[in-house]
Amino acid sequence: FCNVRPDHVIEGLDVPTIYEVPLLMHEQNAGELINDRLNIEKKPSLKELRKFIHNFKNPSHEVTIAMCGKYTELIDSYKSVMEAFIHAGVENNVRVNVKWIQTEKIKNDITAQKAFQDVDGILLLPGFGSRGSEGKIHSSKYARENKIPFLGICLGLQCAVIDFARNVCGMKGANSTEFDKNTNFPVIDLMESQRAIKIKGGTMRLGAYDCEIKTGTKTYAAYRKKKISERHRHRYEVNNRYRKKLEKNGLVFSGVNEDLGVIEAIEISDHPWFVSGQFHPELKSRVNKAHPLFREFIKAGVKNKI
């Protein structure tokens, strides 16, 4: 009927998790059929995948992570982050539960306390624009002051820097020029390479860039190497004019692109685990190798819960 041999028809059944699909296909001899067709002699092994699925289904602990962003009504906006949580959860033998936080609803310390009172970690999600930005800054402040494990991604890093500038360095009204072009303390500003661009489409700092990691930091402890490469998508960056003042007050610049002078990662040394990256670590997380920052973030969440 469809010019496919009956023994080459593979049934696609529903399974509890997408990670079980290869096992289902393997049971129907799909691997052998593909090997035969392509003249591949090596037999497929799903040992590591079976181990992953077993650990995923049988965690020893649970943690609850607050996912703070402005697109929380459409959770597939953060699909890569959710998958990175699965990978990191398996490596830490925990189930990662997510509490979605719409940052527009975080107005002050009181609403932050109500939102985060039952979480083991706070993740500040990437995004663009001013909507919900003050809520993200309040979220960073709450995590910092209450010693809750914190991971900021892209805009999440920028909001963490704004919080630190305002509430630790005393720079009242510090902001990003993306949110307030007239701020007296533009601790986050448009990248130099972006200033002459008039037509914005497809002109952001995109793709993989190198980053030098500072030894003795939590970021270095996660990666265990001095040089990394991560993927990016942004126009704004930490303003180097304020770098010395931020450092003097305790903000650690743990990752830098020395060639471009771009701050890539920050952390707070006297906090159990407060790390942020200007890049998108979720895009490099894999089933067989959780991203180092997600792995350590979830590990910190487990310690915080215990």
Q: Which residues contact 76 (CB under 8 A, 6 or more apart)?
A: none
Long-range contacts of 8-16 (CB under 8 A, 24+ apart): 8/33
- Relative orientation angle of helices 292-305 and 79-91, to the nearest 10 degrees: 60
Give the separation between CA 104 and CA 99, rounded to whole angstroms: 15
Q: Which one from 230, 280, 291, 296 is the annotated catalytic residue?
A: 280
Catalytic residue among 154, 159, 169, 211: 154
Catalytic residue list contains 26: no
Catalytic residue among 134, 264, 282, 296: 282
282 is catalytic: yes
CA angle 181, 184, 186 (to 5 degrees): 60
Encode 271-305: b = buried (16+ Cβ within 10 Å), e = exposed.
bebbbbbbbbbbbbbeeeebbbbbbbbbbbbbebe
CA 171 – CA 251 distance, rounded (Å):
14
- Positive or negative torsion for Cα 190, 192, 198, 203: negative
DSSP H helices in 42-154:
47-57, 79-91, 109-116, 133-145
Is 154 an annotated catalytic residue? Answer: yes
Catalytic residues: 154, 280, 282
